[in-house]
Structure 1
Amino acid sequence: MKYFITGGTGSLGKALVKKLLSKGNQVTVYSRDEGKQALLFGKEKKIKRIIGDIRDYDKLLVSMKRERPDVVVHTAALKRIDDMEFHPDECIKTNIHGSDNVAKASLLSDVKKCVLISTDKACQPVNVYGSSKFIAERLFTNHDFESCSTIFSSVRYGNVIASRGSFIPLWLGLLEKGQKISVTSTDMTRFLFTLNDAVDTVLGAVENCEGGEVFIPQISSYDMGTILKAVERIHGFVFDYDLIGLRPGEKLHEDMLAETELPFTYKVDNINLLCVRPQYTNRTHNSKWKKYTGPHFNSSLHVSENVEELVSLIKRGTMETR
């Protein structure tokens, strides 16, 4: 199968490329950073590399028409939450208009499936980044409503341990240098999982999507107090930290599945995924999945306080990014 991955030089994109190649798929990476492309994939002859920006619709369309992929996985985005609060115009150009470009180019290139990588921040958003991803999800659902061919879906996921820019490896790096770390709140909770789990979530969505859905992984969350204990266990020493309070656009607790989505939510068979089906669709969803009858997914409701479990998760996640 032929895959076209936007933003393929990020942590998720890189891991996704590796997994897809291991299964014998053909992969095209479309991203704007030629340096990262060369560094990550320069010696890999099985990967087609295209330098381009998702804001550039013409380049995107020509690239897809030339490659004729079966599946597009749209990972490209501006993701730094606090930065996006001060640059909402740039966030809109990439995360909303760019995502719309990807969807339209996919439709005109006869792509079979196009999957948007979204985030827990898109669920009941309170910041610019989350709001942009919420709109992108709705764009993909609407494109699916209008489509007679290409299937459009989205997949949300939480914080990936040891991905580029994530806070746990940042903390460990500072502690190794003898520097103090900054913590927003010990009461804060976050959904955490590993890069391989994130890849499996994406591929599970690709395999099971029938049109317009949002897929959600059922993963554990941890409060910062438990995370600090796990980091202390890994670091090997007791350390001090500064409490700095919430940053612009930050939530104390994250949402993965809203209460308003519960009536449309189903459990995907044989995989740890939930599926929120669209409220309006022209498609028939054939999968006979059971209705999800659990609570909404807020990180304060699914907290694990198992420090050893988290230590193991962090170590596994760190190994996966090497």
Structure 2
Amino acid sequence: MPHQLANWLVGLSLGQKRLIQLCTDAVLIALSLIVAMLLYHERLGFLVEWPFWWMLGIVIPVSLASFIKLGFYRAVVRYITSRAYKTIISGVVFSTLVLGLVSSISETRISPSVLVIYALLALVSIGGLRIFMRRMLVGVQQRPKTRVIIYGAGTAGRQLQLSLQTGPDYLPVAFVDDDKSLQGRTISGCPVHAPQNLPKLIDNYGAKSLLLAMPSISRTARAKVLRRLDKLPIHVQTIPGMTDIVSGRTKISDITEVSVDDLLGRDPVPPRRGLMNRNVRGKVVMVTGAGGTIGSELCRQILEYGPKRIVLFELSEFNLYAIDRELQALTRAKYPSVEIIPVIGSVQNPGRVSAVLRNHGVESIYHAAAYKHVPLVESNVVEGIHNNIFGTEVLAEAAVEAGVRAFILVSTDKAVRPANIMGASKRLAELVCQAIAARQDTTLFSIVRFGNVLDSSGSVIPLFRQQIAAGGPITVTHPEITRYFMTISEASQLVIQAGAMAKGGDVFVLDMGAPVRIVDLAIRMAQLSGLSPVVIPPGTKPSPSLDQSDIEICFTGLRPGEKLYEELLIGDQPTQTEHPRIMTETDISQPPENLAGLLERLKRLCKSHDVPAIRSLLADNLPMDIRPREVTEDTYTVAKPIAAQRVHAGALPIKQGSA
């Protein structure tokens, strides 16, 4: 019955709803006065006296008119707030004053006690009916809310609580906070507890999610909190950072998954404006591969530092359309003086490249266009070499010819002792740039080498998220495989700053922090999603008796050309630059005549599509380490791995301590 009544009321027009409220309030005012008179006089004789009805006939319309004037009927009952209750009080007080005034000039004298009783009854009946209807409508129409605990009882946590309480999805049941002065208090009905009470709170409240409301703390501090939470049987989520909230890009109630850069816990170094400006401000900048992960972020970062023009050079029509549309919207809103030029083209096309550089007067080039996916390049060797090596050569030669001032090659850690065609092609691209840099002084060439960026198109992070959302299994290639990680934004900023320090042919290496074991990353992502990871050793069949909260982590074996670990340095003597996160090394370059002969032979083999001969040529002329080195605890240092929560069917134990 309540469900049918609620649906019927919601389905009425606005005019019908207001008419029902007016009629109901008229009845409640009349009943309030009758009951007040009855309680005081303890008789019903006044009901047959015409002055009483004359007085009631004046009080009801005047009271309703005051409610209308105060805007009481504009409030939607389902979303009625404390402001509406203040309106009811004002209306009832006015009605009581009118009643007293009318009674003083009529034959029916009403004592002050009756007026007080009437006011209380009218207030309780009119306001109480709204409260009852609001609870009925909300309770019937809304789906059950997810019970959540908020970590952080500061300003952000309280704002989040208020936002969630009025929303349809989440019900805050408790706070936890490290501040002992807040523990034991109650905030809008939610008690504040110490973090060590979380296991008990999750059980007692039946909470399904823990929301981190700490948008202002550093990533290092956030990572410490997450390490305390990742073994709890609860889904950990977060609110956006304070920068995004203040800028208006997101709201405090926008609940998101914990980002992987929070797990890694590395605070970025603020960019140095002088370095960011040097090759950008007031200049014509071209970004190749502008629609890719790194290329698009380079464009966003460059736009903030006032270039004259950005030339977006991209082979993929869809990617170019997406980044052009995004940047055009930004320029209209914030950077109207910057011109955005979208160009479809391949770096392998000498005529197209030269024409673009000349026509637009390009002064700085960030060369991010490359085929980077190791397995794909392994199975498309010739195209990978054409694009990564000869495309770089075409672009570099055209840059010198057009008088481009700065050329920055975006390289990869896979170019160090490469174990695959992709890495070898990027190493040769580095050598090409160094050779061209050595024979001229028009264009300053530099190479910036770094590892994986979080959430890039080739990163394992989006794959892990998809696999977790699908219920598993999470696939990792090898139990001991490690990778360096950095956020896309930080990597792009460092690329721009490194290029600004170039003297010609420099190789810059970004400080990526400590390498991370991929299986540990998978385990922590699963745990923070409220799941219990079950690590299945290679060659072992998954257990058929998994709980609903379990998720398997399986090992699929190293892919073609994949190494257990990556390196950033070829030599052992890096030199620190003026930026704390950027190093430079004295790289070993090939004599120009040797390199020219190697490239000529490579071109001939690519023309005949002789892939075995290409592999042999690269192995003979580059320091290619095709045998993965055995990983020991002394090889590198990472954060302490997280042990698996469950072990089934001889599941692989995860080592504690440094990996």
Task: Specify if TM > 0.5.
Answer: yes
Matched, 1:27 2:320: no
CA distance in 2, matches of 1:200, 1:223: 25
Within 1, Cα distance between the matches of 2:562 and 2:321?
A: 34
Match in the other structure for 1:195: 488
Match of 1:54 among 347, 350, 364: 347
Point out the structure with the larger helix share. 2
Matches within 5 A, 1:117-266: 117-219=410-512, 220-238=514-532, 239-258=551-570, 261-263=571-573, 265-266=574-575
Q: Deviations over 1:47-83 (max 9, x none)?
A: 1111101111110011011111221000001111011
- CA distance in 2 between partners of 1:29 and 1:197 (Å): 21
Aligned length: 289
Does residue 403 of structure 2 align to residue 110 of structure 1?
Answer: yes
CA contact (8 A) 1:118 1:154 kept: yes
- Cα separation, 2, equivalents of 1:303 and 1:3: 39
Match of 2:639 among 305, 309, 313: 305
Instruction: Report the aligned-residue RMSD.
Output: 2.0
Listed as ranges, the gaps of 5+ residues in structure 2 are 1-282, 332-338, 533-550, 591-630, 643-659
CA change 1:111–1:224 in 2 (3 A) is same
Per-residue deviation at 1:306? 5.2
**Quick one: which of 299, 313, 317 aligns to 1:17?**
299
* Aligned position for 2:540: none
**C-alpha deviation, 1:8, in angstroms:** 0.4
Please, which of 66, 91, 95 is the counterpart of residue 359 of structure 2? Answer: 66
Task: Check conservation: 2:288, 2:313, Cα contact below 8 A.
Answer: yes
Instruction: Name segments (4+ residues, structure 1) moved above 6 Å.
Output: none
Distance change >3 Å, CA 304–CA 143, structure 1 → 2: same
Aligned match of 2:548: none
CA contact (8 A) 2:365 2:406 kept: yes
Equivalent-residue separation in structure 2 for 1:267 and 1:244 (angstroms): 39
Give the conservation status (yes or no) of the 8 Å contact 1:168–1:231: no
Give the 3 Å change call, closer, same or farther, for CA 23–143 of structure 1 in structure 2: same
Query: Could you give the per-residue CA deviations for residues 161-200 of structure 1, whole angstroms, max 9, x where no partner exists?
Result: 1111311111111211223121111211101110011112
Larger mean CA deviation between 68-77 and 40-49 belongs to 40-49
Match of 1:199, SS state, is: helix
Q: Which residue of 1 aligns with 2:390?
A: 97
Retained in 2: the 8 A contact 1:141–1:278? no
CA distance in 1: counterparts of 2:495 and 2:520, whole angstroms: 27
3-state SS, counterpart of residue 455 of structure 2? coil
C-alpha distance in 2 between matches for 1:214 and 1:228 = 33
Aligned match of 1:276: 585
| Structure 2 counterpart SS, 1:256 | coil
In terms of mean alpha carbon deviation, does 177-186 or 228-237 score higher? 228-237
Match of 2:323 among 21, 37, 40: 40
Q: Distance in 2 between matches of 1:301 and 1:73?
A: 33
Residue 301 of structure 1 deviates from its aligned partner by 4.1
Q: Secondary structure at the match of 1:101?
A: helix
Q: Distance in 2 between matches of 1:60 and 1:198?
A: 26
Distance (Å, rounded) in 2 between the aligned partners of 1:37 and 1:279: 36
- Secondary structure of 1:118's match? strand
**8 Å Cα contact 2:448/2:499 also seen in 1:** no
Is there any run of 5+ residues in structure 1 with no aligned partner, and where?
282-297, 309-322
Distance 1:249 1:302, change over 3 A: same
Larger strand proportion, structure 1 or 2? Answer: 1
Q: Which amino acid letter does the alignment assign opposite residue 201 of structure 1?
A: L
* Superposed CA offset, 1:227-262 (max 9, x none): 12321233221221221111100001111112xx23
What amino acid does structure 2 have at the position aligned with 1:276?
E
Residue 230 of structure 1 contacts residue 307 of structure 1 at CA under 8 Å; is this kept in 2? no
Counterpart amino acid of residue 525 in structure 2: V
Q: Which has the higher contact order (CA 8 A, sep 6+)?
A: 1
Give the counterpart letter for 2:531 in structure 1: F
Question: Does 1:5 pair with 2:287?
Answer: yes
1:280–1:76 distance in 2 versus 1, CA, 3 Å: closer
The offset of 1:125, in angstroms, is: 0.4
CA distance in 1, matches of 2:340, 2:528: 36
Q: Is the 8 A contact 1:212 1:277 kept in 2?
A: no
Hey, what's the Cα distance between the residues in 2 that align with 1:97 and 1:182?
Answer: 35
The separation in 2 between residues aligned to 1:245 and 1:279, in whole angstroms, is: 33
Work out the CA distance in 1 between the residues paired with 2:311 and 2:458: 24
Write the letter of the residue equivalent to 2:299: V
